[in-house]
Amino acid sequence: MFWSKIWLFLVALGAAAALTVALALPPAAHRERVRDERQRLATACDVVGIELELAARNHVDLIGTFARAAEIVGGLEQVDPGMPLDAEKGKRLRQTAGTLVSQIKVAGADPDAPTPPGLRPNFAWMLDASGRAVARWGLDEDDTGDVLAGRWLVDDALAGYLRDDVWLDKGTLYMVAGAPVVSRGDKGFVGAVLMGWRLDLDVSAQFVQAFKDTDQDAEDRSINIGFFGGGKAITKSSRDVNLDSDILDRYGAVDKPEEMGEDCRRIAPFFAHDGKHEYAVTVARLPGEIASQDGFFALYTPRPAAPSFGAAVGKAKHELGGGFPWALVIVGFVVAFAGGVVLMVLEADRPLRRLQADAVKLAKGDGERMAEDQHHGRFGSIARSVNIQIDKVSRDAKAAKKDLDQLLGPAPEGSLGAVDLLGGVPPSPSLPGMSLPPRPAAPAAPPPSEFRFGDQGAAPARPAAGP
Amino acid sequence: MPVLPIRHDSWTTRVAVACALLVTAAAPALAGKVTGELELSAPAGKPPLRGKAYLDRIENPYKAPRDVDPFPYMIVVLEGDAAKMPEPPPQEAWDLVGDRFDRPLIAVVPGSEVLIRNKGRGTPTLMIDGHADLLPHSPLNPRGERGFKAGAAGTLYELRDEDTPHITGGVVVVATPYHAIAMASAKDARKGSFSLSDVPDGTWTLRIWYRTGWLDGVEQTVEVKGSKTTSVSTIKIPAGLPTAASK
C-alpha cells in the first residue's frame, strides 16, 4: 500500500503541476507576449525611422551629384530669371535629366543588376534662380513656369543648402531632396534641382521587410506600415489589412511627446480593428513639411490571441514542431494507469486474496490458525487479530472444560467429559452452584456447517426460504 | 447757394471744363519723387531652418550660402497730412505665383480691396488668421480670384494656406498710399533701396514697416517740393531688425 500511495501522490502531484501550468502559464505567457509585441513595434518603429533617415541621406548625396552634373549646370546657366522661358531649352534640359536619372546605379554593384526600387527618383525638377520651374522630368512634365520658391526646401536650395523634406503632393507622399546649382563661372547660384521619391506600396514593404513573419503557423506576427497625411491614408505595405479609418480616428487622441524623435518609445501602442481582427498599433510623426499636415506613419501587427487552452495547445503544437504529441500524452497516461494497477495488484489485491483463502481454509477447519507469516502489513495485522481471537476462544473453552470437570468430576473413559454431557442432557438448573444459560431452541436455518464460501468468498450462501 | 444760368453748349463752359481738365492733369506732374537707400547695420544672417526633416541642412561646399533677404518684407511709408491723400485705389492685385505670393508683404490703404489672383497650379484654401470671415473657406482654383476689403490703418492681415505650411503672406493697412517695398541691391546683400513717386509737396514722416510692426529708430522727416526728386540719406537699419510689435 505504501508504494501505491506514493504512486498516487506522484501522479496527483504531476497532474496538479500540469493543471497549474495549463491554467497559469497562458495568461503569463500572454502578458509576456503583449510586452514582446510592444517591444517589437517600438523596435520596428526605430528601424523604420533609421531607414527613412538613411534614405534621406542617400537622396541628398544623389541630388548633390546631380546638381553638379555639367549638363544641368550648363542648362540652368543659360536661363535668365527675368526673361520668359525657352520651351526648347526646357525640353532639352528635361531629356538630359531623364538620361542622368536612368544612369543611377548602386555604387559598387553589378552594372547589369537591376536597380532596386526606391533608389531612382520618380521626378527631377530644375528651377532657375528665382525658383521658377524650368523643366520637369517624371512628374508634371508639361508644366513649367510656375514658381516653387516659397517651399522651405526650395528656398533653402536657392540659398545654397542641400536638404531633404517630405511632401504631400496631390495625395501622394514623396521624400524630396534639393540642392543648389552653382555656376562654374561667376554667376553664383543659377538655380536649384529637386528630386522626389514616391513612398508607395513597394517602398513601404521594404521598410518592414525584416519584420515579415515567414512562419507557416496559424498566427501571423508580421508588422506592416501605413503612411498618413492631411487626414488621409496615403500608402501602406499591405492591402490585406484595412485599419486606415480606425487609425486616423485614434491618432488625434494620441499623447505625443514634444520631441518628434521620441515618438517610437514614448507613444503607447493602441488597438485598432479591421472588422475581423484586432491589431496593436504604434505611430510616429513624419518630419518636414508633412509634419504641418499631420503626417505620420503607423506600424501594426495582429494582437496576440487571448489566453485559452486551445491557444496554448496551438502554441505547443507550433513550439514542438508541427503537431501536438498526443501519442506521448496517451503513452504517459497508460504508463501511469498501468503502474497504478500493478502496484494495486501487488500491494492490495493479491494479499487480500491470500488472506481470503486463508480465512476460508480456517472456516472449513483445514487449519487452526491463520498463517501470519504469509501476510504482510495490514493483512498480517488482520491475521494476527483473528489468531488472537482464536487463541482467546480456545483458552476460554479450556477454562470452561476445566470448570466443568471440577464440577462434574472426571469424565468416564471414552467420553467427552462435560462437553459430552452437555451435548446430551442439559444439566439441571436446580443443581447447586450452577447457572447455565438456557439452551437455545433448535434453529430453523441450516446449521453453520452448511454455510459455503464461494471461491471469491464474499458473502455466505443464504439458505432457501422454507415453505 | 445761387446757381448761375450757364448754358452747357456755350463756349465759356467748354473753356472752363478744358481748363479744369488741364489743371487736374497737370497736378501729378507737380508731385515729387522720393528715393533712398537702406543699409543693414549687421548681416541679416542665415535663413531660418523651417521644417527640418530627417537631416540637418548642409551648406553647399562650392559657394557660401546666401543670407536671408529682409528687404521684400520692408515697406517704406510716408505719413503726412491727410488732406493731401488722394482717393484710395479701388483694388490692389496680389498674385499667387505657385507656392508663394509674388510679394510676401504688401501695403494697402484703408478701404482698399485686396484681390488675390491664383496664377499657379495649386488650389490653396486661403484663410486669414483672426479674420476667418473675410475669405470663403474653399479652395481657390488656378486662375481664380478672391478678394477682401482692408480695414483700419495699422491692421495686419496674415494669410496662409490651410493645406500647406509654406504659402503665407501679409497685408498691412497703412494710412497713406505713398508706400513702396524695398528692393535688395544686386551687389551688396546688406543694402537696399526704395522709390516713391507722385508724392505731393509737403513735410512727410518716413517710417518702415517690417514683417509685423514698425521698425524702431528709422523715422525721418522728408521735405517734398515740386516735381524734384528728393533723396533721403541712407537709412541705417538697426541690427536684429527690432520692431515695435516685437517689444
Residue A268 domain-assigned (yes or no)? yes
Return the DSSP state at B42: S
What is the full per-residue pLDDT of chain A (467 aa) written as tens digits?
A: 677 778 888 888 888 888 887 777 767 777 787 788 889 999 999 999 999 999 999 999 999 999 999 999 999 999 998 899 999 999 999 999 999 998 887 777 777 777 676 788 999 999 999 999 999 999 999 989 999 999 999 999 999 999 999 999 889 999 999 999 999 988 899 999 999 999 999 889 989 988 988 876 667 889 999 999 999 999 999 888 899 999 999 999 999 999 998 999 999 999 998 888 899 999 999 999 999 999 999 999 998 776 666 766 666 666 666 666 778 888 988 988 898 888 888 888 888 888 888 888 888 888 888 888 888 888 888 888 888 988 898 899 999 988 888 888 766 666 655 555 555 444 444 444 445 555 555 555 444 444 444 444 444 444 444 43
> What confidence score (pLDDT) does residue A318 get?
67
* Residue that is last in its domain, among A256, A290, A307: A307
Residues B218 and B229 in one domain: yes
| B64–A164 C-beta distance less than 8 A | no
By CA distance, what is A171's nearest residue in B? B163
The answer to whether residues B236 and B213 touch, using CB atoms and an 8 Å cutoff, is no
B154: cell is 495699422
Q: Measure the CA–CA gap between B230 and B225, rounded to whole angstroms.
A: 8
List, in order, residues 6 or more apart from A103 with CB less than 8 Å away. Answer: none
Q: Measure the CA–CA gap between A303 and A308, rounded to whole angstroms.
A: 15
The verdict on A69 touching B (C-beta cutoff 8 Å) is: no
Domain count, chain A: 2
| A161–B59 C-beta distance less than 8 A | yes
* Residue that is last in its domain, among A268, A290, A307: A307
The answer to whether residues A65 and A350 touch, using CB atoms and an 8 Å cutoff, is no
Under DSSP, is residue B173 helix (H, G, I), strand (E, B) or coil? Answer: strand
> What confidence score (pLDDT) does residue A438 get?
55
> What confidence score (pLDDT) does residue B163 get?
86
Q: Measure the CA–CA gap between A182 and A69, rounded to whole angstroms.
A: 10
Q: What rounded mean pLDDT belongs to chain B? A: 86
Residues A194 and A210 in one domain: no
Whichever domain contains A117, its CATH number is 3.30.450.20
The residue type found at B71 is F
Residue B118 domain-assigned (yes or no)? yes
Residue B143 domain-assigned (yes or no)? yes
List, in order, residues 6 or more apart from A341 with CB less than 8 Å away. Answer: none
For residue B1, is pLDDT > 60?
no
A428-435: long-range contacts, CB 8 A cutoff, minimum separation 24: A433/A407, A434/A407
Domain hosting B147: range is: 87-174
B229-237 and B32-40 beta bridge pairing: parallel
Residue A20 domain-assigned (yes or no)? no
Whichever domain contains A244, its CATH number is 3.30.450
What sign results for the dihedral spanned by CA atoms A327, A328, A329, A332? positive
Residue B18 domain-assigned (yes or no)? no
> What confidence score (pLDDT) does residue A58 get?
93
Residues A74 and A36 in one domain: no
> Cell numbers 443443581 correspond to what residue?
A431
| B57–A156 C-beta distance less than 8 A | yes
Domain count, chain B: 2
Residues B108 and B81 in one domain: no
**Closest approach of chain A CAs to the CA of B138, in angstroms?**
16
| B166–A289 C-beta distance less than 8 A | yes
Q: How many residues does chain A have?
A: 467
Residues A166 and A98 in one domain: yes
- Which residues in chain A are contacts of B50 at CB distance < 8 A? 152, 155
Residues B95 and B170 in one domain: yes
Residue B113 domain-assigned (yes or no)? yes
Residues B80 and B187 in one domain: yes
Residues B106 and B79 in one domain: no
> What confidence score (pLDDT) does residue B9 get?
53
Residue A89 domain-assigned (yes or no)? yes
Residue B6 domain-assigned (yes or no)? no
Residues A72 and A194 in one domain: yes
* Residue that is last in its domain, among B117, B150, B174: B174
Residue in B54, B63, B163 nearest the CB of A56: B54
* Residue that is last in its domain, among B174, B200, B222: B174
Q: Is A204 exposed, middle or buried (0-12, 13-18, 19+ CB in 10 A)?
A: buried
Q: Measure the CA–CA gap between A147 and B119, rounded to whole angstroms.
A: 10
Residues B182 and B75 in one domain: yes
Residues B160 and B212 in one domain: no
Residues A172 and A76 in one domain: yes
List, in order, residues 6 or more apart from A71 with CB less than 8 Å away. Answer: A96, A100
- Which residues in chain B are contacts of A292 at CB distance < 8 A? 51, 164-165
Residues A44 and A80 in one domain: no
Residue B223 domain-assigned (yes or no)? yes
Buried b (16+ CB within 10 A) or exposed e, A351-377: beebbbebbbebeeeeeeebebeebee
The enclosing H or E element of A2 equals helix A2-67
The verdict on A324 touching B (C-beta cutoff 8 Å) is: no
Q: Measure the CA–CA gap between B102 and B105, rounded to whole angstroms.
A: 9
| A150–B100 C-beta distance less than 8 A | yes
**Closest approach of chain B CAs to the CA of A23, in angstroms?**
48
Question: Among residues A163, A130, A129, which one has the least CA distance to residue B46?
Answer: A163
By CA distance, what is B52's nearest residue in A? A288
Whichever domain contains B189, its CATH number is 2.60.40.1120
Residues B165 and B209 in one domain: no
Residues B159 and B230 in one domain: no
Residue B54 domain-assigned (yes or no)? no
Residues A225 and A302 in one domain: yes
Residues A173 and A77 in one domain: yes
Residues A278 and A208 in one domain: yes
Domain hosting A174: range is: 68-198
The verdict on A141 touching B (C-beta cutoff 8 Å) is: no
Size of interface A-B (CB pairs under 8 A): 111
Residues A238 and A149 in one domain: no
Residues A193 and A79 in one domain: yes
Residue B11 domain-assigned (yes or no)? no
Whichever domain contains B95, its CATH number is 2.60.40.420
Residue A384 domain-assigned (yes or no)? no
Residues B77 and B180 in one domain: yes
Residue A155 domain-assigned (yes or no)? yes
Question: So what's the ipTM on this one?
Answer: 0.82
Name the phi and psi angles at A308, rounded to 5. -160, 165
* Residue that is last in its domain, among A149, A178, A198: A198
The verdict on A193 touching B (C-beta cutoff 8 Å) is: no
Residues B133 and B146 in one domain: yes
Mean pLDDT lowest for which of A70-79, B107-116, B223-232?
B223-232
Residues B231 and B195 in one domain: yes
* Residue that is last in its domain, among B158, B174, B190: B174
**Closest approach of chain B CAs to the CA of A98, in angstroms?**
23
Residue A235 domain-assigned (yes or no)? yes
Residues A172 and A94 in one domain: yes
Interface of A with B in 240-299 (CB under 8 A): 287-289, 291-293
| B68–A159 C-beta distance less than 8 A | yes
> What confidence score (pLDDT) does residue A308 get?
67
> What confidence score (pLDDT) does residue A419 get?
53
Q: What is the largest CA-CA distance in chain B?
A: 83
